[in-house]
Structure 1
């Protein structure tokens, strides 16, 4: 079973691929979408859930999504057809780091996909290239809420704490205008959904060649979460605008 298929199964019950509940997602979109007829881009959109929710809330909004996964984009198209927003959604199967468009966007989204660019600041550099004057960026990334152990760092990388993360963003030329720090409930619910959905699929399909592998992956992920990073990892989602420069 490849990584893409495993991720799709793991997110079956949590289509937002980040530790955010539905209310938090809606509040963030309410703050991030600058106007009803905005043009929105999601870099690393996966199944397009952020875009679909924005399109559903704003009948004049236009959206574009970029992802490498043909399966995820096909799912986004199917959901868009079901919701009746397909005419306002354009999807691109390409590397988000290499994507270019003939126009700029009022909102650029990248939540839980900063690894596609090599980290938070590199993601903001990419977003800046697509952003219209006065536009906003909605970005979500992890941070260390407490001092991590070596196992946690090995699993999730060299993250900063929350004050340092925000300071880095500000020093990079951005002003936070809204933010959300995922709660313990959101963090735990996301991990239980990830491991639980994958495990349930494996148990429901015992004859599938990937069943045993899926169970092993879910168990390993669950153990890494509970023993490795649960008590140290946090997740912040920020709505950003570019800070004016003097002169």
Structure 2
């Protein structure tokens, strides 16, 4: 069972691929789209849920998404057509780090996809290349809420604490104008939804040759979450603007 299919099934009940509930996503987009006629770019858009919600909430917004998965992009196209926003959405199948555009964007999104660039600051560097003057970035990144175990670091990576994460962003030339730290309810809800959806699919399709693998994967991921990183992992989403340089 390939990784894309696992992800698609796991996110059936939680199309935002980050620990954020609908109200948090709505608020972040409101802060990122203050005018309502912005041009939006999502670097690593997957099935395009952030873009779809932007387009649905703001009838004058135009959006572009970048991802390497044709299956995810096709899912985004179909969903855009179903929601009546397909004419305002353009999708590009390419690596997010390789994407080039002739125009700049008023909002650049990268929530839970910083791995595509090799980390938080490289993602912000990529966003900077696409950002129009006065534009905003909405970025989501993990952090260590408590001291992690060596196993958690090995599994999820070399995050820092929340204050250090924000300090690094500020030192890189950005000013946070809003943000959201995912609550315990959001963090737990995301994990329960993902691995519960995958397990439910396996139980509902016992004759499928991938059923046993899906069920085992759901059990393994649930165990990793509960035993390895639940008590230490956090997630922050920041709304950023460029900090002016010296006069």
Partner of 1:26 in structure 2? 26
Partners of 1:34 and 1:136 within 8 A in 2: no
Alignment of 1:168-183 (within 5 A): 168-183=168-183
Alignment of 1:120-131 (within 5 A): 120-131=120-131
SS in 1 for 2:175: strand
Alignment of 1:65-214 (within 5 A): 65-214=65-214
SS in 2 for 1:179: strand
Counterparts of 2:41 and 2:34 in 1: how far apart (Å)?
13
Partners of 1:29 and 1:54 within 8 A in 2: yes
- Say if 2:64 is the partner of 1:64: yes
Shift of 1:33: 1.1
Post-superposition Cα deviations, 1:176-204, rounded to whole Å, max 9, x if no partner, equal: 00000000000000000110000011111
Structure 1, unaligned stretches of length 5 or more?
none
Shift of 1:21: 0.2
Instruction: Using structure 2 for the length normalisation, give the TM-score.
Output: 0.99
Counterparts of 1:37 and 1:29 in 2: how far apart (Å)?
13
Shift of 1:209: 1.3
SS in 2 for 1:53: helix
Partners of 1:42 and 1:64 within 8 A in 2: yes
Partners of 1:10 and 1:197 within 8 A in 2: yes
Post-superposition Cα deviations, 1:95-140, rounded to whole Å, max 9, x if no partner, equal: 0110011100000000001100001111000000000000000000
Aligned residues: 247
Partners of 1:34 and 1:135 within 8 A in 2: no
Counterparts of 2:187 and 2:58 in 1: how far apart (Å)?
28
Partner of 2:7 in structure 1? 7
Counterparts of 1:111 and 1:58 in 2: how far apart (Å)?
20
Partners of 1:64 and 1:89 within 8 A in 2: yes
Partner of 2:38 in structure 1? 38
Instruction: Using structure 1 for the length normalisation, give the TM-score.
Output: 0.99
SS in 2 for 1:35: coil
Counterparts of 1:36 and 1:9 in 2: how far apart (Å)?
32
SS in 2 for 1:15: coil
- List structure 1 segments (4+ residues) > 3 angstroms apart after TM superposition: none
